[in-house]
Amino acid sequence: MSDMSDVQRDAEARVRGIADEIKNLREDLARMGSIVEELVRRRANDAVDEVTRRAEKAWEDAGRMSDEAAKVLEANPVATIGGAFGLGILVGLLFGRR
């Protein structure tokens, strides 16, 4: 009979050990999930910052180009209008032959 109780105690001890391991695994997975969540959040914030920085630079570049175009137009209004007219005729010829 003592053999049976030894086997039962051994089985119960193993079950407790497995239960403890499962508990530890759950805690480890929860910590890993938190770490992954923080990494994803940081990467997303970095991506937003980069996109914002590039958009601001593009906006500044567009403003600068617009200012330069306005200066060229003011300095050479006849040439600019003539060039636009010529470009319009060329585009009209290219697409008008369809």
User: What pLDDT score was predicted for residue 18?
Assistant: 95
Fill in the DSSP letter of residue 97: T
CB atoms within 10 A of CB 76: 12
Q: How far apart are CA 54 and CA 60, in angstroms?
A: 10
Crossing angle for the helix pair 2-75 and 77-96, to the nearest 10 degrees: 120
Q: What is the pLDDT along the chain (98 residues), one digit of tens a residue?
A: 567 788 899 999 999 999 999 999 999 999 999 999 999 999 999 999 999 999 999 999 999 999 998 898 889 889 888 988 999 999 999 898 75
Q: How far apart are CA 69 and CA 78, in angstroms?
A: 14
User: What pLDDT score was predicted for residue 72?
Assistant: 86
